[in-house]
A = this chain, B = another copy of it.
Amino acid sequence: MSDSLGKVFTITGFGESHGKLIGILIGGCPAGLAISESYIQKELDRRKPNDNATSTPRREDDKVEILSGILNGYTTGAPICLAINNKDTRSVDYDSLHLIPRPGHADYTAYIKYGGFGDYRGGGRFSGRITAGFVAAGAVARLLLETIGIDIFAHTAEIGGIAAKSQTLDTIKQNRNDNSLYCADSIAAAKMMTALEQASASGDSLGGVIEGIAIGIPAGLGEPVFDNLDGDMAKALFAIPAVKGVEFGAGFNAARVKGSQNNDPLEIQDGRVISKTNNAGGILGGISNGMPLIARIAVKPTPSIAKKQHSVNLKEMTETEIEIKGRHDVCVVPRAVPVVEAMMSITLCDFALRAGIIARVIK
């Protein structure tokens, strides 16, 4: 089923950017997990646009409502449906665009796939807004992972070519919430902010790189040959609109060094097998090795830009110009940081349940 992700802990999405709601349905969640709307809300709030000039002026409460699966504050074992109602929709912004696909968006591909019947308002089902549902589901996954000591956090590693300096995982975890960009390097963050303002002023947009980190994963999660931990996590991350690349550990840099440099020597530490380096990014043979899982995700610049662009009219099959009005983020990287955490949490939670290391009834 193409609307679902996962095998035991599953999420199924529905809803559109300018429809009634964004919904997410969670299957396979063990019974007995204490969970509240306010907890999920806190995670959702991390995904909201900031008040600075580079964020979309669309202001949604993103208020989550639990529709099913929770009774008296505990999960019941039945599917959990979470709804985030849409409010601030100005679909009129999009009506004129229906037949003129915005470059870099899914407008044209959706038009072809759905024969013109697709919901075109604000990207419809392809809008970044669907990731609100991902984050809501990720909040549930995060709670389940906490029961076995897995912690997940992401940060902005790069925006517009400006890279945060390399730091220890502890420092990153500590500092990444210091600014609205979720960048653990405040000096780089200031430069990124300047770049964002410049891009905004020139009617343009920026992309960047997010690094997602998961610690506390026991060795042994992941299934050969096809349901690899890396393969399934990559698939989950590519579901985030605007993602164009995913790498683990040394990633593309591993392709440029020698085996003797890339192999992580094994050691014993406190009676456990660890590796001295972590070029593998915590995964070997598609299975976790107990080291921190490190994923890096390339996010393209927001395709909605104020600058005039070249496009076509699909009805008349003529070339034309397009000017996008709407309301958009200059860069989606910061808002995608909690989304990356969500997709990593959801994937790991699925594998942990598949491995039987999360209890079927939480107590």
Residues on the B chain within 8 Å of A118, using CB: 31, 76-78
Contacts of A122 in B (CB 8 A): none
* A54 CB–B CB distance under 8 Å: no
How far, in whole Å, are A222 and B114 apart by their CA atoms in the complex? 12
A81 to B126 alpha-carbon distance, docked (Å): 17
Cβ of A110: which chain B residues have Cβ within 8 Å of it? 224, 285, 287
- Which of chain B's residues have a CB closer than 8 A to the CB of A309? 260, 263, 265
Take A285-B105, A299-B255 as given contacts and tell me if A4 and B1 are in contact as well, using a CB distance cutoff of 8 Å.
yes
A266 touching B310, Cβ below 8 Å: yes
Contact residues of A between 272 and 297, Cβ < 8 Å to B? 273, 275-276, 279-281, 284-290
Asked whether any CB of chain B lies closer than 8 Å to the CB of A187, the reply is no
User: Is A37 in the interface zone, CB < 8 Å from B?
Assistant: no
Q: Are B108 and A262 in contact (CB under 8 A)?
A: no
**Chain A: interface size category:** 35 or more
Copies in the complex: 4
Asked, given contacts A262-B104, A301-B257, whether A239 binds B244 with beta carbons under 8 Å apart, the answer is no
Q: In the bound complex, do residue A106 and residue B360 qualify as a contact, i.e. CB atoms below 8 Å apart?
A: no
Chain B residues lying within 8 Å of A31, measured Cβ to Cβ, are 113-115, 117-118
A261 — which chain B residues lie within 8 A by C-beta? 301
Specify which chain B residues have a CB less than 8 angstroms from the CB of A2 in the assembled complex.
27-28, 223-227
In the complex, are the beta carbons of A7 and B7 less than 8 A apart? yes
* A153: interface (CB < 8 Å): no
Residues of B near A250 (CB, < 8 A) are 244, 300
Inter-subunit contact A220/B300 (CB<8 Å): no
Listed from nearest, the 9 A-B pairs whose CB atoms lie closest are A106-B285, A245-B247, A2-B223, A205-B259, A115-B361, A231-B238, A265-B310, A109-B287, A2-B227
